[in-house]
Structure 1
């Protein structure tokens, strides 16, 4: 597994997208069609056969935003189940959590690189995956990753397609950031990763304001939040008022309506 800070500038010129390809991705931001659109573009540009997205905000482990495969739903589900089962062994998990600091990290991992038998079996052999290229972004408040994979039938990324994949991932990650920030909704996201969405949507919030706002969205009272965070209830109320002001809302009802 190779992890590099920042994408390789030398690869920026290898990517040539048509207006139709760009539009096909952008128009799906905020809809259930984004992950299939990412896969379609990845397959056209660099022969990718699978795609997956993970986000980490206020959770102990990354949240799977979506997985898809042009080799069929069953293989996509096998891949998702495998990575969810072995998330602690995935090298990208440490990058998402910020263990290696902030920045953009480009990682390569082929089946032959994996020493753990069960990890390789569940994440690569069973879904029929040969190789993976990922771009992981870790900021002070959230982590995002987009990964492109090749199937066993395709073989690992060859050098030309590897360069195209590396360049394409920067474009895909930018689309995913917007998708997560403004449009991804649902009970799992609401309950488990609110801070990541707050960080993306309202970067002006302080760390404490973001914590307090997330607690409010989850239904915690000021007293409950104070107990969880180990602060005075009056301090929580002050942070909450400041957060509301920065987010341009006047009440909890307005805040929840935004989510």
Structure 2
């Protein structure tokens, strides 16, 4: 007997593979491969939001370059500006949520440019769970603008993936600032040592106080190095460094 209105099931082998990969570097790749069975998903990433309010990326994978950097820049700089956050804020503790987010709904220019326009994503499906001290978020991106044909199965897949993430500790957070330093050094060879460090950490979402504490220098010194870097290239904001290092 066929029942309508029930959630689409996930292949047990797919679910088992996700659970097996949870907590490993391969989890994002396994999740992306599973999502691509059901729709034209081109990028996935997941993060935890702890009681301290700081997001930590736990998985990312894509057929495009620099997905890890996009995921971490989003988590450090833009997650508060994501429309899915409003759904999360209204979700009771212990409940799950889902939302489709179109690129046109992203009002913050840098967020849309980095996470949607440059990789040419039209929209994403965002799934999550709100816990008492920790919440989980999972996003699936694609370029096509048509309706999601496999949305029901992707929702079921997201449920399995979120459960797997909840049972495993997150992987150690990679140093986004160090990777940005290397890219800045290649794209802007005239930047000096401290200028590179300060600009990279600013791009990664660090405040002047946080950067000062990390580098062991004063807040005023951080601002001085930042201003020197801007003047060296005729920039007025750190976001002007981005086009040459993220494509």
* TM-score of the superposed pair, with normalisation by structure 2: 0.59
Which residue of the other structure, out of 88, 103, 111, is the alignment partner of 1:111? 103
Which residue of the other structure, out of 140, 153, 171, is the alignment partner of 1:164? 153
Query: For residues 151 and 26 of structure 2, what CA distance do their matches in structure 1 show?
Result: 25
SS for the counterpart of 1:101 is coil
Query: For residues 163 and 13 of structure 2, what CA distance do their matches in structure 1 show?
Result: 17
C-alpha contact (below 8 Å) 1:53/1:144 kept by paired residues: yes
Distance 1:10 1:115, change over 3 A: farther
C-alpha contact (below 8 Å) 2:92/2:130 kept by paired residues: yes
Distance 1:162 1:49, change over 3 A: same
Instruction: Give the CA deviation at 1:67.
Output: 1.9
Matches within 5 A, 1:215-230: none
Distance 1:16 1:66, change over 3 A: closer
Distance 1:93 1:61, change over 3 A: farther
Query: For residues 101 and 6 of structure 2, what CA distance do their matches in structure 1 show?
Result: 19
Consecutive unaligned residues of structure 2, counting only runs of 5 or more, are 175-247
C-alpha contact (below 8 Å) 2:10/2:157 kept by paired residues: no
Instruction: Give the CA deviation at 1:106.
Output: 0.8
Query: For residues 146 and 38 of structure 1, what CA distance do their matches in structure 2 show?
Result: 10
2:45 matched residue in structure 1: 52
Query: For residues 171 and 157 of structure 1, what CA distance do their matches in structure 2 show?
Result: 25
Greater share of helix: 1
C-alpha contact (below 8 Å) 2:57/2:173 kept by paired residues: no
- Residue-by-residue CA offset, 1:55-83 (whole Å, 9 max, x unaligned): 11232232222221122x32453354245
Q: How many residues align?
A: 170
C-alpha contact (below 8 Å) 1:111/1:130 kept by paired residues: yes
C-alpha contact (below 8 Å) 1:104/1:135 kept by paired residues: yes
Query: For residues 140 and 23 of structure 1, what CA distance do their matches in structure 2 show?
Result: 27
Matches within 5 A, 1:70-109: 70-71=63-64, 73-93=65-85, 98=89, 100-102=91-93, 103-109=95-101
Instruction: Give the CA deviation at 1:139.
Output: 1.6
Structure 2 residue 26 is the aligned partner of structure 1 residue 29: no
- Residue-by-residue CA offset, 1:172-198 (whole Å, 9 max, x unaligned): 111111123xxx35377xxxxxxxxxx
Query: For residues 61 and 145 of structure 2, what CA distance do their matches in structure 1 show?
Result: 18
2:164 matched residue in structure 1: 175
Distance 1:26 1:100, change over 3 A: closer
* TM-score of the superposed pair, with normalisation by structure 1: 0.57
Distance 1:127 1:85, change over 3 A: farther
C-alpha contact (below 8 Å) 1:53/1:146 kept by paired residues: yes
Query: For residues 10 and 114 of structure 1, what CA distance do their matches in structure 2 show?
Result: 32
Consecutive unaligned residues of structure 1, counting only runs of 5 or more, are 1-8, 189-259
